[in-house]
Chains A and B, each alone.
Chain A
Amino acid sequence: MSDGYETVIGLEIHAELSTESKIFCGCQNAFGAAPNTLCCPVCTGLPGALPVLNAQVVEYAVKMGLALGCHINTLSWMDRKHYFYPDLPKAYQISQNDRPLCETGQLQYLVGGQPRHLGITRIHIEEDAGKLLHDAATDTTLIDYNRCGVPLIEIVTEPDLRSADEAKAAMEEITRILLALGISDARMQEGSIRADVNVSVRPKGQAAYGVRNELKNINSFGAVHRAIVHEAARQRQILAKGGVIGQETRRWNDLEKTSVVLRTKEETHDYRFFPEPDLPPFEVPEKTIMALSAQIPELPATKTLRYQQAYALPPDDALLLAGRKPFADFFEAAVALRKAAPRQLANWLLGDVSKLLNEHRAELGDTRLTPDKLVTLVEAIDAGTISGTAGKQVLEHIISKDTSVETAIEMLGLKQVSDAETLNTLVNSVIRENPAAVADWRAGKKQAQGFLLGRCIKASGGRANPQVTASLLRQVLDDICE
């Protein structure tokens, strides 16, 4: 928007970690279990129950911190954050306030194939709260405590984002990193990743930030984008009329595309943080940090840029491949076998292979397709052994069956016929059977040649080599005319 204002956005992203057990107790960390079946005295806050921190949670959070180039605090501790709400049976959440595990990092993400950077303020660990269902008919709140104690990381960013597009792209990249590290399933539809979005607006060129409003608990990339666009426009309207923005916490309603005030500045929560007395401080030894650091893979944005540069893939295709580890690994293994045609391999993976996976609701790893087989298939098409259309049939076969490309071509009878003698016989018989089309061609209707070629391909059961057949057909037609 070029109205003299600038939008300033910061994110607080909560991601559930995919550990086996919860953060402070041995209850299973699972989504979708029957209500109140994954609870124990610790996660339901019964008096006398003592929490013990899960080592895997610390490891996963440190990994995320290292991936985002954060400083890792070797000494850290948990704090109590107090609030009264039925989703939290203890009346406090065990979180981190004074000394988060990770501080001051940077996220690299891409907008339109170009790199951008977002400052990371901190990453801390905490427990998730229970799930509430509101029964309007009986004015009752139904509580399921299964989610209490599910481990979360909260990633707090600097207010470096300037548009809804940037915010959405940054959040998508964080999701891809969580998946690449294997520390969260990042399923937005299951609420395992959610964002609070801080939005303010200021006159362009002004150094001080405007008054910010916080939009709570947004759980899809699209909703993040819509909420920011709406909130920025709302604030601009107020400012344009000479009004004053009040500091508020708002709830975004994605169905109605509106937000409502939850709390004003005067009602801001007073969480009364203090160090958790039940959990002493904990250390993350330097050697653990070093070991975890060695496990950080190439990040999706870096990989995307590499695919764009090294293989000349379009930005969108590069991102689609790089963002999904099984696809990226498959692609690179295939490219290593056949360096000449990465773009062709990418097209097959993102096109027909993805389509078949969607149809069968399968993952790449569940199939019988290997990089070697895909390369052989592409080479068979290039060499003219089979047509592109036949290639799709071969793919359908080899994706589910443990057969080689050669065997599949043989079994399905798809081997392309390029032999001049066989094709000549075919062309002559098609010409004999279609005198009207030949007459049209003689009369100057050149499209008749396409019709005749189609007949030839059909008569061969799709096996006639189109290039060789076309050239033979042309020759025969020219001969007739002379």
Chain B
Amino acid sequence: MQAYIQHLARLAKLSVPNDKLNTFTEKMCAFMKLAETLPPLEMDERLPAERMLLRPDTVQPSLPRESVLHNAPKVQDEYIAAPGTLQD
């Protein structure tokens, strides 16, 4: 389970300090146990019966840029600024 927690953390680009690993593992096990109490889904019920209505290809107004940038912790010029990340 600890290896799994480390894997999840790596996927989420989070660092889990070694001294917290046990706590996280216990908590995650508790979540999993809770999830297991949910009734299982039959496979043929997996697809919902409802069907999606598609929308016509029409343009609606976008948000003003100030609103888009409003919640960003850091802004530089017209962009949201994030810590340096190499493209992959």
Contacts and interface: CB of A to CB of B under 8 A. Distances in A.
A19 B54 CA distance: 14
A67 B61 CA distance: 34
B15 interface: no
B81 A263 contact: no
Interface in B66-88: 68-69, 76-88
Given A55-B56, A280-B51, A134 B79 contact: no
22 contacts: A21-B59, A21-B60, A26-B61, A35-B79, A36-B78, A39-B68, A41-B63, A52-B55, A53-B54, A54-B57, A136-B84, A138-B76, A138-B84, A141-B83, A144-B79, A216-B88, A251-B88, A262-B88, A272-B11, A280-B51, A282-B51, A282-B52
Contacts of B88: 85, 216, 249, 251, 262-263
Contact of B54 (A26, A86, A141, A282): A282
A272 B10 CA distance: 14
B11 A84 contact: yes
Nearest to A28: B59
A141 B81 contact: yes
Which of A26, A56, A262, A272 has most B Cβ within 10 Å?
A26
Interface string A249-266: 101000000000011000
Given A281-B48, A281-B51, A85 B85 contact: yes
Interface of A: 19-21, 25-28, 34-41, 44, 52-58, 77, 82-86, 132-136, 138-145, 216, 249, 251, 262-263, 269-270, 272, 275, 279-283
B52 A36 contact: no
B85 A86 contact: yes
B27 interface: no
B23 interface: no
B44 interface: no
Given A134-B86, A143-B82, A36 B68 contact: yes
Interface string B3-38: 000010001110000000000000000000000000
A270 B11 contact: yes
Task: Return the 5 tightest CB-CB contacts between A and B, nearest first.
Answer: A26-B60, A56-B57, A139-B84, A142-B79, A55-B54
Interface of B: 7, 11-13, 46-48, 50-63, 65, 68-69, 76-88
A219 B60 CA distance: 30
Contacts of A57: 57
B25 to A, nearest CB: 19
Contact of A53 (B55, B62, B69, B81): B55
A84 B58 CA distance: 30
A134 B87 contact: yes
Contacts of B50: 280
A27 B59 contact: yes
Contacts of B57: 19-21, 54-57
A44 B80 CA distance: 12
B69 to A, nearest CB: 6
Given A21-B58, A52-B55, A53-B54, A37 B84 contact: no
Given A37-B65, A39-B63, A133 B79 contact: yes
Contacts of A41: 63
Nearest to B74: A140
A143 B80 contact: yes
B13 to A, nearest CB: 5
Nearest to A78: B52
Nearest to B48: A280
A139 B84 CA distance: 5
A35 B86 CA distance: 20
Nearest to B60: A26
A140 B58 CA distance: 35
A356 to B, nearest CB: 36
